[in-house]
Amino acid sequence: MKNNWTTLSLLEQLSCTFAPSGCEGAVAELIRSVIAPYCDEILPDPMCGVIARIRGTGKESGETIAPRRLMLSCHMDEVGFMVRSITDAGLLKISSMCGSDTRVLAGRRVWIGDELRQVRGVFGVKPLHLVKSDDRGRAVDMDDMYVDIGVSIREEAEKSVHVGDFGTFESDYVVFGQNGRYIKGKALDDRLGCAVLCSVMRQVYQGDARPGCDLYFAFTCREELGISGARTAAHKIDPDYAIVFEATAAGDIAGTKPYKQVARLGEGGAISLMDRSTIYDRPFIDWILETAREREIPCQIKQYVSGGNDAGHIHKSRAGVRCAAISAPARYIHTASNVVAKSDIEAIEELALAVIDRLCSSDERVK
């Protein structure tokens, strides 16, 4: 991996990499090669995640003590599928690993395979003409869908695909909108978190001084399944503070009532107060908001209680961890076409650096 990447060029590369939950090897390998020059060590992780450490000075001065360990976490996996069986006609029956909304699958191109190689397929459905008129308005049932990889008999299919293989959407990385302000792609949830943390690592490591505390960067697996490698990573790291970098569903689209919009594109990272998995540490949140205000970094509060993320596992780890989450608002999350704003990614990176800078200075302490 050349060292001349930017956060966005890295994001493009990460977005196009195949890494559904449970099969994150390719992204893990890419991230390892990207960050190797910018950390003191990469720790082994039985859960196949990537945990990197930048050692701090660990200095304690006077009566105030710098936090010992700060964990910065993002997840590498993306929503995906698994091949359940292969029919005699060489079609693949699929189990979904991205919730139950089959409407975003029908007619889509997908990649099917494993960490090393994939083949292209298409989510086929019965042609509309042949669907009974009563059923035309109905979403297609998962059991009635199949993936066509271009063969007509089982034996042919089995040369390229195995039962238990994984799948993801195929979706190009596209910059669009006014002045190219938006990005569309697959797996931006949460490859943008990965890209941001890689870039943060590089800047911290290349900075003039070592941080005041140990920084752990955790790139975790299986978040989308809810059984999070962040839990085991947090157990290993045993941090004092943790910040999760995520993507959160933005509802800022026409027709949505303001109080259901959750977060808006272009207004900076969304800071969570509460979601289904976590009630975030209020003083820590206030401290982050204050940091953003002082340094004039745009950010917003996530104005709805929904979803959940790795923080749900991290804050309950060991004897408890003070936790916050900073998310990029993302429209059409869990589909092939996540849409995020470039400016939000920049703002989140800037905020991450500011938080590290302030939290690691030895005379700073969160109430």
Nearest by Cα to 112 from 129, 94, 126: 94
Longest dimension (CA), the chain: 77
CB of 160 vs another protein, minimal distance in Å? 17
Contacts of 2 (CB under 8 A, 6+ apart): none
Of residues 41 and 172, the one with the C-beta less far from another protein = 41
Residue numbers of the site for another protein (CB under 8 A)?
Answer: 20-23, 45-48, 80-85, 93, 95-97, 163-164, 166, 222, 225, 227-229, 231-233, 235-236, 240, 258-260, 273-274, 279-282, 285, 301, 303-305, 315-322
Of residues 36 and 305, the one with the C-beta less far from another protein = 305
CA dihedral 276, 280, 286, 291 (to 10 degrees): -100
Please give the positions annotated as active site: 223
Edge-first strand listing for the sheet containing 50-54 = 41-43, 50-54, 214-220, 69-75, 241-249, 322-330, 269-271, 299-301
CB of 22 vs another protein, minimal distance in Å? 3
Of residues 170 and 275, the one with the C-beta less far from another protein = 275
Of residues 101 and 172, the one with the C-beta less far from another protein = 101
Of residues 199 and 309, the one with the C-beta less far from another protein = 309
Contacts of 108 (CB under 8 A, 6+ apart): 122, 123, 169, 170, 336
CB of 75 vs another protein, minimal distance in Å? 13
CB of 119 vs another protein, minimal distance in Å? 18
CB of 158 vs another protein, minimal distance in Å? 13
Neighbours of 93 (CB within 10 A): 15
Neighbours of 141 (CB within 10 A): 10
Of residues 321 and 353, the one with the C-beta less far from another protein = 321
3-state helix/strand/coil string of 168-197: EECCCCEEECHHHCEEEECCHHHHHHHHHH
CB of 228 vs another protein, minimal distance in Å? 7
Neighbours of 133 (CB within 10 A): 7
H or E segment and range at residue 95: strand 92-96
Contacts of 15 (CB under 8 A, 6+ apart): 173, 185, 186, 187, 188, 191
Residue 112 tokens, joined? 């099917």
Query: How far apart, in Å, do the first and last CA atoms of the chain sit?
Result: 41
CB of 247 vs another protein, minimal distance in Å? 19
Contacts of 176 (CB under 8 A, 6+ apart): 182, 183, 184
Of residues 7 and 118, the one with the C-beta less far from another protein = 118
Half-sphere exposure of 85 (CA within 13 A, CB side): 5
Is 142 within 8 Å of 102 (Cβ atoms)?
yes
Residue 169 tokens, joined? 């959407």
